[in-house]
Amino acid sequence: MANKDSFDAFVSIIQDKIEELSEHTDQSRIQVFQNELREKFDDLARSRGYISSKEYEALENLAARLEERITNLENQLKK
């Protein structure tokens, strides 16, 4: 039920922003709406367990470095 409520809330936010956008066609205002929607969408996505591609790449790099360190430690223990 919480997932549906979150999605409904997000849709409501988008509808409100689109209505505001249609009233104001100023380019700087459009950029503000775009940033607000991106933040809201990112928050919703994170609440559902998703992460951005930048965060994924950072975690992937960290995992690769940790695997390399483990391999080095295992090789040192064999000696």
| 10-residue mean pLDDT series, the chain (79 residues) | 67 75 67 78 80 88 96 90
Amino acid present at 34: Q
Distance of CA 67 to the CA centre of its chain: 26
Residues 6+ apart with CB under 8 A from 17: 33, 36, 37
Give the model's pLDDT for residue 39: 83
Of 74, 2, 9, 67, whose CA–CA distance to 41 is shortest? 9
Residue 48 has what DSSP assignment? T
Angle made by CA atoms 27, 29, 35, in degrees to the nearest 5: 105
